[in-house]
Structure 1
Amino acid sequence: MAELTPRGSSRVVMHDPRTTDPEEELVRRSHLSEEELAQVVAVLEAMGRWREAERAMNEESQRYMKLGESDMRALRFLIAAHRQGVVVTPGAIAAHLGISTASTTKLLDRLADGGHIRRLPHPSDRRSLAIEVTEETRRSARASVGRSHARRFDVVAGLTAEERETLRGFFDALAATADAGDPTPADDQTRAH
């Protein structure tokens, strides 16, 4: 079922199981009223809009700072650690990003060549290095990523305590779906009852 957009062209519906899973092979919905189903679809569509907005914000920040996604994730980690007084080693960056030590070395070389980080002697472990973000990069990140984060913080702060708790539970439950894996046929039968 395609929907017409204001310009008259059709739009593919992405989150409505009535069109994407009409036989209820994956999404059980027969227990929901039409109103409840419409609300669920509206939430999923809002999540899609948020993912798209966040992707666009991330891409804009990456373009502004002329960096890739892993580079930006490493810089955010380094900035947060600096603010907390935590010394960051290449191994800590590798663990945070889930990449190999060889990939981490290449990433740090790129960031150092771009003037984004400094490699310094570790203050307490002479066998290791401490990695720090340069002040110029910290200011640039604050001007791009920091401002976006502040706007998101303000939206959440504007909610009631109950709304925040509901959202926290919602996002925790969504995060748990990533760990759940694919259900087995037995799981499907258990959830159907």
Structure 2
Amino acid sequence: MPDHTAAPAADTRRAAQNAPSSTSYWFDEPDSAVSVLHAVRDVQEAGRDMRRRMSTGMSMNTTDLEALRHAIAHERDDDPLTPKTLSRHLDISGASTSKLIDRLTLSGHLVRTDHPRDRRSVILLATEHAHHQVRERLSDMHERMLAVARSLPEGSRADTAEFLQAMAECLRAEPAPH
């Protein structure tokens, strides 16, 4: 009987040997700009990992956590968050948004309340329980992040912030695949 496990392993090794190294996959020659792009990618991956850990710790999925984050941000900006706005932000259907809101309401993280300016609409607010959980999980990390940001020389901070905003715009401008 032939051994079918040997061929896939050999194919995998061959592909790995022929694949470009991680430092030059997209770029022909390594330079300091490429190392900056690798650092940006590391930050993105660390952020995704942190959100996964946080959502697990709060017994919710990452979409629910993003919805909660968005609700808190809207409260901070004194900008009422409607289910429709949340649906657009998360890029999910109205039915999926309703189920998400139901889950977060049932878990005690969100409440629906009357819209302050539109009697036909409701807004979503994070509960004190949600605020407490988020603060409890993120306060230390935010303090460490602030310390890292403060470690930048004062004269470099504006340029660094501008660079990061420009990188964010590059990512936002990438069209969805067809």
TM-score, normalised to structure 2, is 0.73
Distance 1:64 1:53, change over 3 A: same
Which residue number in structure 2 is paired with residue 123 of structure 1? Answer: 116
Report deviation, 1:93. 1.3
Post-superposition Cα deviations, 1:70-100, rounded to whole Å, max 9, x if no partner, equal 1111111111222333322112212222222
Name the residue aligned to 1:63.
56
1:16 aligned partner, one-letter code: T
One-letter code aligned to 1:158: S
In structure 2, the residue matched to 1:103 is 96
Structure 2 portions without partners, runs of 5+: 1-18
- Give the length in aligned residue pairs: 157
Deviations 1:107-166 (A, max 9, x none): 101111211111112223221112111111110011113432332233213322332222
- SS across alignment from 2:57: helix
Please tell me whether residue 15 in structure 1 is matched to residue 22 in structure 2: yes
TM-score, normalised to structure 1, is 0.68
Superposed structure 1 runs of 4+ greater than 4 Å apart:
none
Structure 1 gap ranges (5+): 1-11, 21-25, 30-36, 182-193
Provide, for residues 26-81 of structure 1, a one-character-per-residue CA deviation record: whole Å limited to 9, x for no partner: 6354xxxxxxx343343344334323322221111111111111111111111122
| Percentage of matched positions with identical amino acids | 32
Give the aligned residue type for 2:83.
P
SS in 2 for 1:72: helix
Alignment partner of 1:160 out of 136, 153, 160: 153
Alignment counterpart, residue 171 of structure 1, candidates 159, 164, 169: 164
